[in-house]
Structure 1
């Protein structure tokens, strides 16, 4: 799960009237960053944890009589054990269900936040993570149920609780909301490195006898830290609603319609004077928006290529029925399925394409690149989203995703490295771009529900990953190329359909603008009519 996946929530419709002292707010942000590093999304570091699970004999009992046909090459960096097909599939299922739970949890967390606030939500998250730690530490001795599976799913379940509960801290420092969101997002992406560090310590024997029981017993410190922070440091009520956070992220404007940063370059005196002159000409027609909000709307209409505001006046039911929602939902589903399938099966895929030594090297490279990708991509994501039309951004997404898929099925080591680099940069870029799309198309008021529904539905569809995994092992005898090729084809089909639809809608918007100008240039903020702007795609 990336940063955009977790903004899919409705935060409490309450805001604190007075900010705490500077020291308290700094402490709150630092505490949130620490627990996000260790607890927000460690389940996505599964590729690094998997060799340890194999070395510790997790699910080894499911292996039948070992023959060359049902043995995989070793994905273990530490000892020369091999995982049988049944064991590999069961381990992959553990990650698949965890990924599904992480994304499907979004709407549930939103409801709890809406009714009980961030503190209760964070406390619940710490409890779930503590339970997960106990189960994973004692999985071998639990006989009533699958302790490893339930424990890993519970760890995935707790992550959104502790991560999303701190998103409202973005407005603890008005004018620096974007920076705080970026820091929290970076910590979330880096949290997948937790199991990488565990694997390195285990491999090099930095800590003697660092078994799963020992590691997850130590890990109980993390939920304890979160619990103490929630009880004694974190705010009881949210600083901001998700609607306000989405608005701040896109425009830099606070709830009162004024810039949080007085030096925001988006709001120049010339533009302010132009809006004031237009208002004077309109005479008695009063605007419900501030001058800055009008400038922001106009800038977003231009930067989006015209899609901004297309469904802002529609009800949530109408938005869900619109092709704008379900075509993006389908595209997101395929992308999430591809990403999580690769994370779960990278070891077996590389072992099929290359010799064991090369496969191990590529696996290690991926383990390091995954957490770094989210951090390195942050400045580029902002530049792309701020300077390119929505249609162009989605075109880039489709092209990069297609390249990743093509490189992934070519057994050339250099291309695999390029594909992995593109993937780890693409993952946070994609989810942020979808979040940006939802704000521009559906509006701030329904952003949490609309985006949350996309991520929840896409997450549930990840259950098909098990079917793909079984097909790879049994139908295609370990060859991942057919499944990867099929996913790439779906990406191209859904992606081109999405681009064609948006291109068609942009032309309609241009035509409506021409008609509106011919009728006198009347602009209605509540309808699908936009003032004219330049540089629209032809």
Structure 2
């Protein structure tokens, strides 16, 4: 037993380590971009007068670099559906090995990019490969959350925290690059980075499980319902849940026979409590097929809201330096804010985890959506304040906390509304479509450069308005449906009351 637990600890440690080094490193683009400019990446797009100023990209170079991040971040999200399918049908080991191979290809492309650039865009291909490899090595780790059922929530938090912190890798590289006097080139860095996919491959072939402990949907179910893999309560929560009201038992008995065969009594009782804790939203479409769920406003309204927010997040990451420089009119202050952002982005992901858990556990889902909408608007408003260093600083602090909050709210909403049976398909499709939509970042960047003379305010106002429309529409729809459901339950209860009185 001790040997088994030790093996699980080693598996979790290794997974967290490679997630920290590979799962979401492309989101450290804001820290990497100055290095890319110094290294002369895409400098051939500049006129002669720009080539002497290495830390200031010309318009063509800036747009090309931003486009590289836009395409890569979009593909990261689009891969969720494919990775989920491979994970479900081939297992985590195959998934992890594929990820390691893709990361190796990306690293090799970036090592030889300066030589290959005359034949192919090796910088773009390499960065895309890093973006695609990330989800393979990250999502394949989710199943580890059930190797120790009592600690599934903690394990998921560790994995998620490692993902959020992985953007710090390029920050560390930029610091080392500066300290080396700009001699620690991209080629040298990615030659060293090749050790990461080699480490992942070695782990997959030795200590990592060949088959998933549980599917992604089941892991989410365990975390939310606080049940073990057999549908029983985790010991730590058993004492509290022994106080379950008798009404829960009555409701269990009223479930159709089909559901009773599929769920334990404790699962149904727990779901009843979750309906109350979430304001009635839990389980609202659990009995529908995936197609029915995808066709419903519950899906496409959240899709619109989530897609707009994803564009806001990735656009800000790609263009923070140019935005701050225009708003502040001060190059030194914009560089300082850029460095602050690079540092706070990975830290914010870790610091936000406990607060996000408290919010999701104690606030109704519809109110969480309202809070997410308000926070998104606040980020946008702080991001258009001219000549205000501290205003933009506050906006950055809110942003780094808001980013993990957004990702968690979307997955939490999908699990509670659509259920666990279809979670992988529905959530994967939503994330994939959000990735496709985020390609519109290129259009926003083009407008800012060509029509607004680098002024980010018009584009930010547009995104704020779209966020408000999508967020309010989703919130109003959820409230309307919950009201209908409440009225239906009241109407259904009246005949029983009349019969009892008779």
> Structure 1 length as normaliser, TM-score?
0.88
The alpha-carbon distance between structure 1 residues 520 and 219, as it changes in their structure 2 partners (threshold 3 A), is: same
Task: Please state how far the C-alpha of 1:274 moved relative to its aligned partner.
Answer: 5.5
1:178-204 deviation per Cα after TM superposition (whole angstroms, max 9, x unaligned): 000000000000000000000111112
Q: 1:270 aligns with which of 234, 243, 246?
A: 243
Identify the match of residue 243 of structure 1 among 217, 221, 225.
217
CA distance in structure 2 between the aligned counterparts of 1:424 and 1:183, rounded to whole angstroms: 18
1:86-125 correspondence to structure 2 within 5 Å: 86-125=60-99
Distance in 1 between residues matched to 2:375 and 2:239, nearest whole Å: 30
Q: Does 1:331 align with 2:276?
A: no
Aligned pairs for 1:50-129 within 5 A: 50-66=33-49, 81-129=55-103
Give the direction of change, closer, same or farther, for the CA distance of 1:115–1:20 in structure 2 (3 Å limit): farther
Distance 1:426-1:324 versus aligned 2 partners, 3 A rule: same
Question: 2 CA distance for matches of 1:391 and 1:268?
Answer: 25
Residues 450, 474 of structure 1: CA spacing in aligned structure 2 closer, same or farther, 3 A cutoff?
A: same
Aligned to 2:359: 384
- The equivalent position to 1:424 in structure 2, one of 400, 405, 421, is 400
Q: Does 1:462 align with 2:438?
A: yes
1:491 aligns with 2:474: no
- The alignment status of 1:168 with 2:143, answered yes or no, reads yes
Provide the residue aligned with 2:447 in structure 1: 471
Query: Residue by residue, what CA displacement relative to the aligned partner does 1:22-44 show, whole Å, maximum 9, x if unpaired?
Result: 12111111110110010001000
**Higher share in helix:** 2
Separation in structure 2 between the aligned mates of residue 238 and residue 278 of structure 1, nearest angstrom: 33
Decide whether the 8 Å contact of 1:129 with 1:155 is kept in 2: yes
Number of aligned residues: 494
CA distance in 1, matches of 2:180, 2:368: 46
Pairwise CA distance, 1:363: 0.2
Match of 2:12 among 29, 44, 58: 29
Deviations 1:295-347 (A, max 9, x none): 21112111111111111111111111100000000000100000000000001
SS at match of 2:148: coil
Distance 2:497 2:348 in 1: 46
Checking the alignment, whether the CA contact within 8 Å between 1:96 and 1:463 is kept in structure 2 is yes
Match of 2:384 among 391, 404, 409: 409
Decide whether the 8 Å contact of 1:267 with 1:292 is kept in 2. no
How big is the shift at 1:276?
Answer: 4.7
Tell me what 1:38 maps to: 21
Q: CA deviation at 1:66?
A: 3.7
Distance 1:407 1:279 in 2: 49
Q: Which structure 1 residue ranges, 5 or more long, are not aligned?
A: 1-17, 523-538
- The residue that corresponds to 2:490 in the other structure is 514
1:281 Cα deviation from its structure 2 partner: 9.9
Matched with 1:11 is none
Q: What residue in structure 1 maps to residue 188 of structure 2?
A: 214
1:388-436 Cα deviation digits (max 9, x unpaired):
1011100000111101101100121111111111111111111111111
Task: Measure how far apart 1:168 and its partner are.
Answer: 0.5
CA shift for structure 1 position 477: 0.7
Q: Paired residue for 1:533?
A: none
Shift of 1:351: 1.1
Deviation at 1:291, TM superposition (A): 3.0
The 8 Å contact of residues 189 and 371 in structure 1, kept in 2 or not, is answered as yes
Gaps of 5+ in 2: none
Distance (Å, rounded) in 2 between the aligned partners of 1:477 and 1:360:
20
Contact 2:79 2:132 in 1 (8 A): yes
Aligned to 1:270, what secondary structure does the other structure show? coil
Distance 2:84 2:254 in 1: 44
**What's the CA shift for 1:254?**
2.4
Shift in Å, 1:521: 7.4
State the 1:116 CA deviation. 1.3
- CA RMSD of the aligned region, Å? 2.3
Tell me how far apart the structure 1 counterparts of residues 16 and 259 of structure 2 sit (CA, whole Å): 44
| Aligned counterpart, 2:115 | 141
After superposition, give the CA deviation of every residue in 1:87-124 in whole Å (9 maximum; x if it has no partner): 00000011001001100011111121122111011011
C-alpha distance in structure 2 between counterparts of 1:280 and 1:320, whole Å: 31
- Pick closer, same or farther for the CA change 1:521–1:151 going to 2, 3 Å: farther
Matched with 1:130 is: 104
Q: 1:469 to 1:275 in 2, by over 3 A?
A: closer
Pick from 321, 325, 339: which aligns with 1:347?
Answer: 321
- 1:187 correspondence with 2:170: no
Q: Contact 2:143/2:214 (CA < 8 Å) preserved in 1?
A: yes
Q: Quote the offset at 1:493 in angstroms.
A: 0.7
Cα distance change of structure 1 residues 494 and 166 upon mapping to structure 2, 3 Å threshold: same
- CA, structure 1 residues 87+281, in 2 after alignment: closer, same or farther (shift >3 Å)? closer
Q: Does 1:357 align with 2:332?
A: yes
CA separation of 1:19 and 1:405: change in aligned 2, threshold 3 A: farther
Given that 1:132 and 1:151 are in contact with CA atoms closer than 8 Å, whether structure 2 keeps it comes out as yes
